[in-house]
């Protein structure tokens, strides 16, 4: 299947992650569950992936597929008491040390140290993530003081520089503004400044351009790529927007009902999608000049607490076979760096 993306792939060195193993984060067989009145919700159910140092890994899928819960699990911020990391490992590599984030209580001293030193997150809605009772400057300064142990005066000066860096001006005045005094785009920039104040190794961006107009969205995406180069950090970029994936990422994982169904480079995912779900996502993208009708994925995403047996996508899949509803599909390695969780590749020579 040949599919042309609607965006131009960036030129920021997309193959650098292939030049030797340089792992920052390993997620192994992660399972994050929630106890609801409807039943047990397996929001993340056996997820495996890696993030390399300096790369941008995209996470894509429909609403409810487990993207945001995966990010919250990495931060060890799964809402309690209903939610929990049931099993699996989240291995963070730094300075020759490997720590399993999943093994620490969320509010432990070690977990707080990991968050303030190595991890940062940009949430979907800055208006609900920034505190309305503190100025944006004080919220940026908090991260700076926690990480660098500097005086309040020095922290304020660094905060001014950070506000300037994310394009909010005049920074000397805006530092004392409250979130309600800023526009949506400015609040998103402030949220980025808060996240970067501790100079993290891994930035998790969960739908960072939601509800922004296209002009502001483009500015925010450009800013994130510039800051990634400047701070040499990795980014886990979560979105449902495949256009943004094509613009921002090196590799992509495609999720469906809490599972990873395909992993590949951004070029592989757009030009040679393997899993029928990935193919369906690409076929449903509206394009300027398209003369054919859109081809949406039939059916709807099943309820997370009432999933089909074995392959969860089988009831919606145009390629469904008998084995899809009788056995769980393994992960097949197809080509050099692409994987798909689909029985189709048992017949087509994929390696387990």
Contacts of 201 (CB under 8 A, 6+ apart): 24, 53, 94, 118, 119, 233, 234
What are the extents of the domains in the chain?
A: 1-130+201-352
- Give the residue ranges of the chain where pLDDT is below 70: 1-21, 211, 288-292, 347-352
What SS3 state is found at 162?
helix
> What is the number of helices (H) and of strands (E) in the chain?
12, 12
The confidence score (pLDDT) of residue 350 equals 60
| Helix (H) / strand (E) containing 251 | strand 251-256
Determine contact, residues 295/284, Cβ cutoff 8 Å.
yes
DSSP character at residue 318: T
For residues 241 and 136, give the distance between their C-alpha atoms in angstroms, rounded to a whole number: 28
Whole-prediction pTM: 0.88
pLDDT value of position 143:
86
DSSP codes of every residue in 53-104: TT-EEEEE-STTSSHHHHHHHHTT---TTTEEEEEEEEEEEETTEEEEGGGS
pLDDT at 292: 67
CATH number attached to the domain at 1-130+201-352 = 3.40.50.300
The 8-class DSSP code of residue 131 comes to -
Indicate the pairing of strand 251-256 with strand 97-100: unpaired
pLDDT, residue 321, reads: 94
Residue 348: the pLDDT is 60
DSSP per residue, 185-246: HHHHHHHHHHHHTT--SEEEEESTTTT--HHHHHHHHHHHHHHHHHHT-EEEEEES-HHHHH
* The predicted structure's pLDDT at residue 20: 46
Please report the pLDDT score of residue 320 as a whole number.
94
């Amino acid at each position: 299947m040949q599919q042309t993306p609607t965006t131009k792939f960036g030129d920021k060195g997309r193959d650098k992650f292939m030049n030797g193993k340089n792992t920052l984060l390993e997620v192994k067989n992660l399972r994050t569950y929630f106890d609801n009145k409807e039943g047990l919700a397996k929001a993340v159910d056996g997820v495996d992936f890696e993030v390399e140092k300096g790369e941008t890994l995209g996470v894509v899928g429909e609403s409810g597929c487990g993207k945001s819960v995966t990010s919250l699990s990495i931060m060890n911020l799964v809402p309690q008491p209903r939610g929990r990391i049931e099993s699996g490992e989240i291995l963070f590599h730094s300075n020759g040390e490997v720590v399993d984030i999943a093994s620490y209580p969320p509010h432990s001293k070690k977990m707080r140290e990991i968050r303030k030193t190595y991890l940062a997150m940009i949430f979907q809605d800055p208006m609900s993530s920034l505190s309305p009772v503190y100025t944006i400057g004080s919220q940026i300064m908090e991260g700076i003081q926690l990480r660098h142990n500097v005086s309040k005066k020095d922290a304020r000066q660094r905060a001014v520089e950070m506000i300037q860096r994310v394009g909010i001006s005049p920074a000397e005045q805006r530092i004392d503004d409250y979130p309600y005094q800023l526009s949506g785009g400015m609040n998103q920039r402030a949220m980025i400044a808060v996240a970067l104040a501790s100079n993290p190794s891994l930035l998790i961006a969960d739908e960072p351009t939601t509800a922004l107009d296209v002009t502001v969205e483009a500015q925010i995406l450009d800013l994130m790529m510039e800051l990634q180069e400047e701070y040499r950090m990795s980014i886990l970029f979560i979105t449902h927007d495949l256009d943004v994936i094509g613009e921002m990422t090196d590799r992509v994982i495609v999720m469906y009902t809490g599972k990873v169904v395909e992993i590949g480079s951004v070029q592989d995912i757009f030009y040679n999608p393997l899993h029928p779900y990935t193919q369906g996502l690409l076929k449903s993208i509206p394009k300027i000049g398209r003369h054919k009708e859109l081809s949406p994925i039939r059916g709807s995403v099943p309820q997370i607490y009432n999933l089909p047996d074995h392959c969860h996508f089988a009831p919606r899949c145009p390629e469904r076979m008998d084995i899809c509803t009788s056995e769980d599909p393994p992960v097949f390695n197809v080509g050099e760096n692409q994987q798909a969780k689909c029985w189709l590749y048992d017949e087509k020579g994929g390696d387990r």
